[in-house]
């Protein structure tokens, strides 16, 4: 007799004794029946047999067979997989990483509330805090996230609703102390862990309340999905669900299917990207035409000891400055041949980007400087190509960049 998927102890919500690599394969399969591949539920709406059942579905957090803005079986599988990998009770997927971050901020904060956020942030997140939040009556205090005690010192008891961190931070790879953040009581603590993925760090295990990802990046990992996700306690995720239904930044079932497929190989991809990134960062650090090489796995990183304690690997991102400023940085990104000039990260292709002209282009010069972003700063997302080919490509591009 065939067992139902729900009765199979290896399907969904993998037992705690399984390692992350195994859970990445086994979890999130409740809606797949016996299919080995994620099943795509493309429907936008579902029929209900009775009015009473429709009412129940319309008022149940996380329901996935009512209307796909509320939830969807393919999306639910992705959410269950992320929750399992993060050690969370639940997760909620959104249409993008910024959809997830906006959903958390506006789902938890109201006019008159106060937020503490680090200065070292992805520019869109920074602009949400410094431009949109004040317009809605939400005050934001920015701190240096690498300074011990800075987050806690900025919290206003009874006033601060949210404390937001990003680690490693975009683009200079600053590392924030998760244990210190998780020890803060009162406000909800949130960590954007996009650069690390669930394979390299576990913010919730340090006492942090919510972890958020742009799953577009390393989690999906193939540059074919635009997706965000937040994971945490069932209580917090159910609360966020209520606002998410109104916000409307729903995850696409097709993108959720691609992300679930991508997670099956995430441990292997991350391992290779970490190995290649460390080799390339070490090689770049030895060059005289490059300065300020940042990689959490390098002993020269300002928070190397902290990264070693709370991360199981340095990640796939390397940041460095090309000597010669804007002109040299421009020549470099236009000279690469194996790597590609594009503003994302975490995929199979190595990507280089000039943050001052792309990901952080909307920041003012003093804001760029405060984030450590110079005119020659390059962010490199290391892919799956052979590291020797990548090093040869970087070498020839740097020769071009600094020859002028």
Low-confidence ranges of the chain (pLDDT < 50): 1-14
> What's the domain range around 329?
268-403
Name the nearest CA neighbour of 31 among 80, 69, 66. 80
pLDDT at 339: 97
pLDDT at 404: 65
The predicted-structure confidence for 83-109, as pLDDT tens digits, reads as follows: 999 999 999 999 999 999 999 999 999
For residues 242 and 367, state if they share a domain: no
Beta strands at 114-118 and 160-166: parallel, antiparallel or unpaired:
parallel
Does the reported pTM lie above 0.85?
A: yes
The predicted-structure confidence for 268-296, as pLDDT tens digits, reads as follows: 999 999 999 999 999 999 999 999 999 99
Domain with residue 305: its CATH number is: 3.90.1150.10
For residues 225 and 281, state if they share a domain: no
For residues 96 and 240, state if they share a domain: yes
Domain with residue 33: its CATH number is: 3.40.640.10
For residues 185 and 202, state if they share a domain: yes
Helices 387-403 and 266-285 meet at what angle, rounded to 10? Answer: 40
Quote the number of domains for the chain: 2
For residues 275 and 242, state if they share a domain: no
For residues 146 and 69, state if they share a domain: yes
End position of a domain, from candidates 216, 231, 263: 263
For residues 81 and 113, state if they share a domain: yes
End position of a domain, from candidates 236, 263, 290: 263
For residues 241 and 369, state if they share a domain: no
For residues 291 and 220, state if they share a domain: no
**What's the Rg (C-alpha) of the chain?**
21
Residues 6+ apart with CB under 8 A from 384: 269, 272, 273, 276, 348, 349
End position of a domain, from candidates 263, 287, 312: 263
For residues 246 and 287, state if they share a domain: no
Alpha carbon of residue 245 to chain centroid:
22
Which residue carries 């990640």 as its tokens? 315
Which residue carries 């917090």 as its tokens? 236
Q: How far apart are CA 397 and CA 320, in angstroms?
A: 14
Burial category of 112 from C-beta neighbours within 10 Å (exposed 0-12, middle 13-18, buried 19 and up): exposed
Strand partners, 320: 378
């Amino acid at each position: 007799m065939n067992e139902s998927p729900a009765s199979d102890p290896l399907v969904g919500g993998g037992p705690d004794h399984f390692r992350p690599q195994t859970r990445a394969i086994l979890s999130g399969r409740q809606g797949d029946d016996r299919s080995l591949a994620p099943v795509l539920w493309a429907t936008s709406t579902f029929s209900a047999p009775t009015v009473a059942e429709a009412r129940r579905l319309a008022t149940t957090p996380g329901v996935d067979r009512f209307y796909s803005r509320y939830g969807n079986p393919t999306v639910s599988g992705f959410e269950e997989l992320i929750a399992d990998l993060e050690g969370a009770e639940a997760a909620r997927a959104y249409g993008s990483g910024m959809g997830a971050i906006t959903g958390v901020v506006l789902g938890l904060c109201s006019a008159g509330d106060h937020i503490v956020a680090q200065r070292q942030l992805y520019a869109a997140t920074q602009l949400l805090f410094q431009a949109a939040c004040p317009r809605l009556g939400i005050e934001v205090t920015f701190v240096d996230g690498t300074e011990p005690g800075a987050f806690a010192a900025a919290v206003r008891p009874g006033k601060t609703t949210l404390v937001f961190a990003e680690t490693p931070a975009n683009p200079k790879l600053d590392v924030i102390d998760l244990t210190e953040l998780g020890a803060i009581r009162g406000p909800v603590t949130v960590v954007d862990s996009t650069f690390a993925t669930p394979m390299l760090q576990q913010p919730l295990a340090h006492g942090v309340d919510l972890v958020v990802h742009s799953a577009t990046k390393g989690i999906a990992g193939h540059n074919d999905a635009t997706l965000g996700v937040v994971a945490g306690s069932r209580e917090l995720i159910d609360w966020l669900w209520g606002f998410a239904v109104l916000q409307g930044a729903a995850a696409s079932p097709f993108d959720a299917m691609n992300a679930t497929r991508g997670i099956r190989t995430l441990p292997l991809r991350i391992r290779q990207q970490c190995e290649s990134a460390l080799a390339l960062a070490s090689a770049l650090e030895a060059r005289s035409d490059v300065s300020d090489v940042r990689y959490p796995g390098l002993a020269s990183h300002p928070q190397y000891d902290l990264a070693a304690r709370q991360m199981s690997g340095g990640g796939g991102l390397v940041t460095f400055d090309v000597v010669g400023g804007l002109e040299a940085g421009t020549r470099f990104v236009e000279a690469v041949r194996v790597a590609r000039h594009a503003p994302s990260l975490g995929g199979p292709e190595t990507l280089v980007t000039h943050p001052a002209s792309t990901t952080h282009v909307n920041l003012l010069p003093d804001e760029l400087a405060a984030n450590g972003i110079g005119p020659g700063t390059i962010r490199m997302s290391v892919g799956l190509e052979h590291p020797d080919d990548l090093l040869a490509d970087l070498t020839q591009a740097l020769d071009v960049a600094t020859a002028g």
